[in-house]
Structure 1
Amino acid sequence: MKKRAYAATLTAIMFGGMIAGCSSGGPSAGTSTPAKDTGGTTAPPSATTPAPAASQQPKAVTFTWLAANRVEGPVKQDWETFKEIEKKTGAKIDFQVISEEALPEKRKIMIATNTVTDFILVPNQDGRDFGPEKVFLNLKDYLDKAPNIKKFFDNNPEAKAQATAANGGYYSMPVLESDPSTKGFNYAWYVRKDLQDKYGLKAPTTVDEFYQYLKALKEKHPDSYPLTFRTPVSSPNLTGIFTVFLRAFTGVEGFINETPGSGGQYEFAGYHKGFKDSLVYMNKLYAEKLLEPEFALLTTAQWEERLLTGKSMVTYFWKADMDPLIEKARKANPNNKDFDMNVIPQFAAEGVKNYQYARPAVGTSGLAISANVKDKDAAIKFMDYLYSEEGTNLMSLGILNKTYKLVDGKPRYMEEFGTSPYVPLRRDWGVWFPNVSINNAIARAAWERGLDAKNKEINASYAKFIIDAPKSIVKNADEQEIEKSKLNNLNKYFDQKLTEFVSGKTPINDQTVAEFIDQSKKQGVDDLLKMYNAAYKRTYGK
């Protein structure tokens, strides 16, 4: 049984070292045009039209929902937005709250023991793997009772592909992240602009200039480690050190990924000539104390503390987190009144495409219902409401004229929330809250309509680097089994071995790199490449 195999990995996961944090820092992703019809989830907000689930007198019911506290604020049981949802549906949400760092392991344990909460955001892969084993409810069996869920799948074929298990069932409702036509993006290099201006530093545009930039900061602040990253170090964290520098030197984002302009071809970064160069470069940063020495172990709080106190001055992260960091630094210390941050250009090694993938249309996580929920019909009815226009707007935008308003018929968050509205929205309203929000596309669209000049300039400066996100591929049962049996172990090996290379524990030479490649092959990297490329070809006929 897959659950048994899943459970067998938990001990190693829990005691094998670093606990991986949540992979998103700022808004989870996506920009969307609200007028576009995507299954009833991104239509223009309406304060008057009730969804079918709210058309009758609601029956009182309570559902549990796993959620994690955020740096923006803790989960609250009395958010006004969810009080409004309760009025509409009769459904009260009892959030089961844990820390952000503990969330991935808690979720794995719940799945392995079939004790998931009534509602839970899970990786869509887990939905496909464990739904057929009666961990999650098969939504396909209830489409005749759930017009909004049916419409969602009908209008979002990529989401449908993400949700569909090998037996044909749908076990999660994938989170919508973006309108692909906008080419919205998430990440940027940002630096201490006040120090850059003070020392007359030029923003780097190449890997060598970036190294010299860090050296200059180190000379001015000998006790600092100018560069820091938030863990986990690599997959699935797109802001991890390995993901970032492997892309810059090999053109492959992370260890295994579709490469730009290849027509869906998946490649392994280790096979590229720039792979060894990336190791040498990262090791040089580490050896010269330009890189945070605990780069593979930092907690979210420690990463933030490094930036707020000036122990580090450069990071690659969610662009939306910049303004909250600036505000927090200035409030934390009167001596930080001049603290300021801005972006520097994205860079790549010579001959390597300098790119960042746009936000995907569909995310890797989705909302699932426990197969053990007591009242299955009530749970489906509640989920269907959440995917109605009214329900989705409450979850992603909040309450009209309290958290957002309509400008020229389109939603925009209230000006008093500032340039980073997701902070008060999450903290005070439970709106756009990770592991709760089901449509980040309309949330981000409302945010970006109210951006100030600085953030609009940041978007414009990165526009030339942004390319279309890879398409989701549909894997059959055998392919899913190959991925499940090999990918997690490979990612663990990659992270462990590259940490050893970067920290100098393993010397970097032709022999050790060849040994790394050989071990990667033994653990199935070629099997995964063959599987991904075959699945892409079957899915898209190329």
Structure 2
Amino acid sequence: MVKTAKWLSSLTALALTVGLTACGGGADNKGDAAKSGNNNPASSSNTQVVNADEPGWKSWAEPITFDWYLNYSWFADKWGVDKTTQYITKKTGVNINFIVPAGNENEKLNTMIASNNLPDFITLDWSSDSIDKMIQGGLVLPLNELAEQYDPYFFKTADPDKLKWYTEKDGNVYGYPNQSSSPSDFKKYGDNFNSVNTFLVRKDIYEAIGKPDMRTPEGFLNALKAAKEKFPEVNGQPLIPFGTQEFTDTGNGSFGTNLMDFLAIPYEQDGKLYDRSTDPEYIRWLKTFREANEQGLIAKDIFIDKRPQMEEKITQGRYFAMMFPRSDLQNQNITRYQQDPNSVYIAVDGPANSKLDQPKLSGPSIAGWTLTLISKNVKDKERAIRFLTYLISEEGNKDLFFGEKGVTYDTIDGKDQFLPQVLDMYNNDRSSFAKTYGASYTFWMMMDPALSLKWAPASVEPAKQPEDWTRGKVVDNSIYANLDPAASSPEGIELDRANTQWGKTLPKLILAGSEAEFDAAWKEFQQYRKDHDLDKIQAFQQAAFEQNAAKLGK
């Protein structure tokens, strides 16, 4: 879920002051609803009184189905199958038809943008270039304008810092983030926040080779070698000494920002943005991975496997060590735990800088993970903004986390918590939990991490150990988000070319037959960056960084 080789994160934003204007709603919505085949004629034919002090979504419960595009081919859950989404539909009248790409996400989304065929809601990475295309093309609606006209209660629910952060140059806000924490959230809850960024090892193999220190290049290589020699096969199949996230056309998250965070490479020096990708510590570790490949410790699988293949191999326990998000192997690790608690993946200290400094792992920043937008083709503007207001509210988040009281949770010993049978499935069969109950943010599109801290049950193994390992290592990197130029700008076009070139260069570096070959490929890539307006890109990012500092009061 982390994009690699986007040297610093994207989307510039300027400050916004949102007016809390309460206007009459419903009239302008009739034509739009009729044109798009609204299946909720009652809502489009009756003028609704707009009240800034009351949640607008409570005005209606008539049925309506929204189409919601998720730009993630791996998402497989369906709305209305489980107890939680059935309850939300009963409560709000809203049903969701999720649309998920079957193959390449970018191809699917670009086709919809080109044909002006966007569904009602769209959720994608906040750093996606497609966001700028949709905004510039007039394909998505300003949330602030929808709220002013149809649901001013939105402004009471939405975090003003997040609205300010995602304000565009035209003064409008087009998307609302999930997994986003404002600076005030971080100050209040920072000690409780954790990171998904982990270095994992298979517990039994790690212990069998003596629990080696893997923080140095030498220790890392020796551990991979020892694991391969002692356990050449796992259940009749070759051991994969080292695993990563999947390679994409712009690189690999494990070898990018995640590695830099483990090495505690700074984002800035003396008030100026630092080009982390050229840090000697980073290059030192990229050369270590090259050496690992030369020693036969990097399997070809990692260059070609996609998420389904990785999940299968994790379930089989074929990896020894992985630089991989702990949350992305959660279900597979539960399966391993049930088969043999000693064969699970645990977090340990991994690659570190020469001083062996503690990692600085990114926590939930104000930018968040995804951004959700409302299409101009939305079948009912009023219901759409009111449903979004519900989802981002504390009530909506609680419903998405707990589901329906008495069905999935209850107040037990003075505290809201899952019913025993629900909690048991949550801890032991997360896949069945998602399909049966759909709680605990199975539908994560508008998740608020600060709110979730109020309700999350105490972690149990095998999730507890990797989660606890990240505590105390988490930092707020909000100020470094949204720094890249717009994709359609000259600098944005050149940055995209550089990112794509990095996607081609990274495998060459790891597969290089010698250090000299590595150095040549590295030098060629750095020259490519310079030839494609690196100085202009960095000047843009520095200006955006200074704007971020001003917005955050730093």
Aligned residue for 1:508, secondary structure, equals: helix
Counterpart for residue 109 of structure 2: 107
Q: Residue type matched to 1:219 in 2?
A: E
Deviations 1:80-130 (A, max 9, x none): 32332222332222222444x644442333233321211121334544542
- The 1:89/1:186 distance shift into structure 2, 3 A limit, reads same
Deviations 1:381-422 (A, max 9, x none): 322332333333223432234334456766544522344786
Counterpart for residue 131 of structure 1: 135
Deviations 1:188-242 (A, max 9, x none): 111111122334333533332122111110111334221011213696964x234
1:369 Cα deviation (Å)? 1.0
Contact 1:234 1:495 in 2 (8 A): yes
Match among 90, 94, 97 for residue 91 of structure 1: 94
Q: Residue type matched to 2:349 in 1?
A: P
- The 1:529/1:296 distance shift into structure 2, 3 A limit, reads farther
Counterpart for residue 374 of structure 2: 369
Counterpart for residue 492 of structure 2: 484
Instruction: Determine the C-alpha separation between the residues in 1 that align with 2:209 and 2:483.
Output: 53
1:443 Cα deviation (Å)? 7.0
Instruction: Determine the C-alpha separation between the residues in 1 that align with 2:408 and 2:203.
Output: 31
Instruction: Determine the C-alpha separation between the residues in 2 that align with 1:408 and 1:134.
Output: 52
- The 1:482/1:521 distance shift into structure 2, 3 A limit, reads same
Counterpart for residue 511 of structure 2: 503
Counterpart for residue 8 of structure 2: none
Instruction: Determine the C-alpha separation between the residues in 1 that align with 2:170 and 2:332.
Output: 46
Aligned residue for 2:243, secondary structure, equals: coil
1:397 is the counterpart of 2:368:
no
- The 1:405/1:422 distance shift into structure 2, 3 A limit, reads farther
User: Which residues in structure 2 correspond to 1:464-475 (within 5 Å)?
Assistant: 464-471=472-479
1:442 Cα deviation (Å)? 5.2
Instruction: Determine the C-alpha separation between the residues in 2 that align with 1:323 and 1:281.
Output: 28
- The 1:456/1:445 distance shift into structure 2, 3 A limit, reads same
Contact 1:264 1:470 in 2 (8 A): no
- The 1:189/1:446 distance shift into structure 2, 3 A limit, reads farther
Aligned residue for 2:331, secondary structure, equals: helix
Counterpart for residue 22 of structure 2: none
Q: Residue type matched to 1:468 in 2?
A: D
Instruction: Determine the C-alpha separation between the residues in 2 that align with 1:435 and 1:234.
Output: 28
Counterpart for residue 256 of structure 1: none
Instruction: Determine the C-alpha separation between the residues in 2 that align with 1:474 and 1:279.
Output: 26
- The 1:364/1:76 distance shift into structure 2, 3 A limit, reads closer
1:293 is the counterpart of 2:308:
no
Q: Residue type matched to 1:229 in 2?
A: T
Instruction: Determine the C-alpha separation between the residues in 2 that align with 1:475 and 1:188.
Output: 25
- The 1:500/1:263 distance shift into structure 2, 3 A limit, reads same
Output the TM-score relative to the length of structure 2: 0.76
Greater alpha carbon shift after TM alignment, 305-314 vs 398-407:
398-407
- The 1:234/1:419 distance shift into structure 2, 3 A limit, reads farther
Aligned residue for 1:219, secondary structure, equals: helix
1:266 is the counterpart of 2:273:
yes
Contact 1:183 1:467 in 2 (8 A): no
Instruction: Determine the C-alpha separation between the residues in 1 that align with 2:122 and 2:543.
Output: 31
Instruction: Determine the C-alpha separation between the residues in 2 that align with 1:237 and 1:441.
Output: 26
Match among 219, 232, 256 for residue 229 of structure 2: 219
Q: Residue type matched to 2:140 in 1?
A: F
User: Which residues in structure 2 correspond to 1:2-401 (within 5 Å)?
Assistant: 52-67=55-70, 74-99=77-102, 102-125=104-127, 126-144=130-148, 145-153=150-158, 155-157=159-161, 159-178=162-181, 179-180=185-186, 181=190, 182-222=192-232, 223-232=238-247, 238=253, 240-248=254-262, 251-252=264-265, 259-260=266-267, 262=269, 265-329=272-336, 339-351=343-355, 353=357, 354-401=359-406
RMSD (Å), alpha carbons = 3.6
- The 1:455/1:381 distance shift into structure 2, 3 A limit, reads closer
Q: Residue type matched to 2:322 in 1?
A: T
Aligned residue for 1:347, secondary structure, equals: coil
- The 1:348/1:321 distance shift into structure 2, 3 A limit, reads same
Q: Residue type matched to 1:200 in 2?
A: G
1:437 is the counterpart of 2:437:
no
Aligned residue for 1:304, secondary structure, equals: helix
Contact 1:413 1:421 in 2 (8 A): no
Instruction: Determine the C-alpha separation between the residues in 2 that align with 1:264 and 1:110.
Output: 41
Deviations 1:428-481 (A, max 9, x none): 344455775201415752575421376555444433432222325566987983
**Higher alpha-carbon Rg:** 2
- The 1:67/1:103 distance shift into structure 2, 3 A limit, reads same
- The 1:219/1:479 distance shift into structure 2, 3 A limit, reads closer
Contact 1:186 1:319 in 2 (8 A): yes
1:531 Cα deviation (Å)? 1.2
Q: Residue type matched to 1:230 in 2?
A: Q
Question: How many residues end up aligned between the 2 structures?
Answer: 483
Contact 2:67 2:99 in 1 (8 A): yes
Contact 2:479 2:548 in 1 (8 A): no
- The 1:369/1:93 distance shift into structure 2, 3 A limit, reads same
- The 1:425/1:105 distance shift into structure 2, 3 A limit, reads farther
Counterpart for residue 11 of structure 1: none
Q: Residue type matched to 1:134 in 2?
A: G
Instruction: Determine the C-alpha separation between the residues in 2 that align with 1:234 and 1:267.
Output: 24
Counterpart for residue 15 of structure 1: none
Instruction: Determine the C-alpha separation between the residues in 2 that align with 1:152 and 1:486.
Output: 39
Contact 1:412 1:446 in 2 (8 A): no
Deviations 1:337-364 (A, max 9, x none): 8533222114313047532222224414
Counterpart for residue 514 of structure 1: 523
Instruction: Determine the C-alpha separation between the residues in 2 that align with 1:473 and 1:275.
Output: 20
1:499 Cα deviation (Å)? 0.9
Contact 1:346 1:465 in 2 (8 A): no
- The 1:503/1:224 distance shift into structure 2, 3 A limit, reads same
Aligned residue for 2:122, secondary structure, equals: strand
Instruction: Determine the C-alpha separation between the residues in 2 that align with 1:69 and 1:530.
Output: 32
Instruction: Determine the C-alpha separation between the residues in 2 that align with 1:408 and 1:161.
Output: 40
Aligned residue for 2:407, secondary structure, equals: coil
Instruction: Determine the C-alpha separation between the residues in 2 that align with 1:484 and 1:410.
Output: 50
Contact 1:128 1:164 in 2 (8 A): no
Q: Residue type matched to 1:301 in 2?
A: P
- The 1:445/1:318 distance shift into structure 2, 3 A limit, reads farther
Identity of aligned residues (%): 20
- The 1:434/1:261 distance shift into structure 2, 3 A limit, reads farther
- The 1:51/1:243 distance shift into structure 2, 3 A limit, reads same
Greater alpha carbon shift after TM alignment, 51-60 vs 510-519:
51-60
Counterpart for residue 37 of structure 2: none
- The 1:494/1:376 distance shift into structure 2, 3 A limit, reads same
Instruction: Determine the C-alpha separation between the residues in 2 that align with 1:470 and 1:517.
Output: 27
Q: Residue type matched to 2:386 in 1?
A: K
Instruction: Determine the C-alpha separation between the residues in 1 that align with 2:532 and 2:366.
Output: 31
Gaps of 5+ in 2: 5-52, 233-237
1:519 Cα deviation (Å)? 0.8
Counterpart for residue 28 of structure 2: none
1:288 Cα deviation (Å)? 1.5
